Structure 1
Amino acid sequence: MGRRYAAGHDADHSDEEPPAEVTYDRRWAGDLRSSIRCSAALLGLLLLVDWGADSLTIVRGTLWTGLALLLFVVLYPARVTAGEGWLASRGLLRERRVRTDVLVSVRWLDGVSQRLRLRDAFGGRVEIKPQVLVNNPDLWHRLDADARKSDACGSLTCGATALRQISKQIDRERASTVSKVSDLN
């Protein structure tokens, strides 16, 4: 172990690199506020209509509150974070984590809402919205760098197409942003 001195204090440190920064979804807080506003608006509207019809009771108010809470649970955004070698998605009840430096597959799931499923060599799985990566270039760069490591070591057997799709979508988004900012539209 090497001895280093920092700010007048001595401390023992190994010769390892300092841990890489953790990257967060920058739009998560705004998405959370939106889900709260939608739920509150629904609750307010239901209570107002019931009150206006003179049919508001404690039971109906409780029912409307439960419905608004259910909407909040459905709309609650997953908080996506990433660091060197990992990506995590935290929902309301639990966090799912995947090792991005040993990815086995990356799959694009279509449906009502598009999802990206990442699976690692240890069985970890995470599903995230591709828009999160489009909106947060730092998250994308972290995932892309680690996916390239997985591909280089041979663990990534399925997913090159999905990663190319996201890369193209991010490139289109950047071009659109540059165009808007420079008034070329």
Structure 2
Amino acid sequence: MRRSGRAAPAGDRHWRGKARLALNCALAFFALCLLVDWDAGSLTPLRALLWAALSARVFIVLLPHRVTAGPGWIAVCTPWRRHVVRTDALVAVRQYEGPSGGLVLRDAHGDRLELDPRVLAASPLLWHELETGTHRSLERGTLRHGADVVARLGHHIDDESARAVLRASGLS
């Protein structure tokens, strides 16, 4: 039972699994490097420390950004920074063309963040928070660029959800 009336922020429900995979890959890299170095007879404490540092770097590179959202905001946390944008005060929404198709959000306070739209498609609560905030921005008149991007992304997410339901029911 919650004590306050505030709801917990929505998050990427697949993030923990992706972070665990990144950790396992980094640990496997570390173990293989130690094993090869030991087999070659050249393993020293300094080299083991080097392999540990390289494995930590592999983990940081593979660790996905954590996306969370709440009423009127969305945040992307990297290992070094947390970027927060007010979704109820969006000024522009842009989407890169190409294989990654990154989504760039900019608010009236000058804050900016980038996120992968696949995270939104995989987490309906995140998408709901972004879509609700976008509608508020449109009502307030702050969103000048990108309403079509959000609509197009919404149609894409709805189509993917419908396909998933049809696949799960055996109709597709």
Distance in 2 between residues matched to 1:179 and 1:173, nearest whole Å: 10
Distance in 2 between residues matched to 1:114 and 1:46, nearest whole Å: 35
Correspondence for 1:77: 64
Aligned residues: 168
Correspondence for 1:31: 18
Distance in 1 between residues matched to 2:59 and 2:98, nearest whole Å: 21
| Residue of structure 2 aligned with 1:132, choices 115, 119, 122 | 119
Which is further off, 99-108 or 63-72? 63-72
Distance in 1 between residues matched to 2:75 and 2:89, nearest whole Å: 14
Distance in 2 between residues matched to 1:107 and 1:69, nearest whole Å: 33
Correspondence for 1:161: 148
- Measured after TM superposition, the shift of residue 134 of structure 1 is 0.5
Correspondence for 2:29: 42
CA shift digits 1:110-168 (9 cap, x unpaired): 46743211110001112111111011011101110110111122111111232133213
- Measured after TM superposition, the shift of residue 53 of structure 1 is 2.1
Point out 4+ residue stretches in structure 1 off by more than 4 angstroms.
none
Distance in 1 between residues matched to 2:141 and 2:31, nearest whole Å: 54
Distance in 2 between residues matched to 1:106 and 1:138, nearest whole Å: 19
Change (3 A) 1:182 1:62: same
Correspondence for 1:64: 51
- Which is greater in Rg? 1
Change (3 A) 1:111 1:54: farther
Correspondence for 1:101: 88
Distance in 1 between residues matched to 2:51 and 2:159, nearest whole Å: 42
User: What is the TM-score of this pair, normalised by structure 2?
Assistant: 0.88
Correspondence for 2:170: 183
User: What is the TM-score of this pair, normalised by structure 1?
Assistant: 0.82
Structure showing the higher strand proportion among its residues? 1
Distance in 2 between residues matched to 1:146 and 1:162, nearest whole Å: 14
RMSD: 1.8
Q: Secondary structure at the match of 1:118?
A: strand
Greater relative contact order (Cα 8 A, min sep 6): structure 1 or 2?
Answer: 2
Where structure 2 has 5 or more consecutive residues not aligned to the other structure, the ranges are none
Q: Secondary structure at the match of 2:163?
A: helix
Correspondence for 2:110: 123
Distance in 1 between residues matched to 2:152 and 2:58, nearest whole Å: 31
Distance in 1 between residues matched to 2:154 and 2:99, nearest whole Å: 21
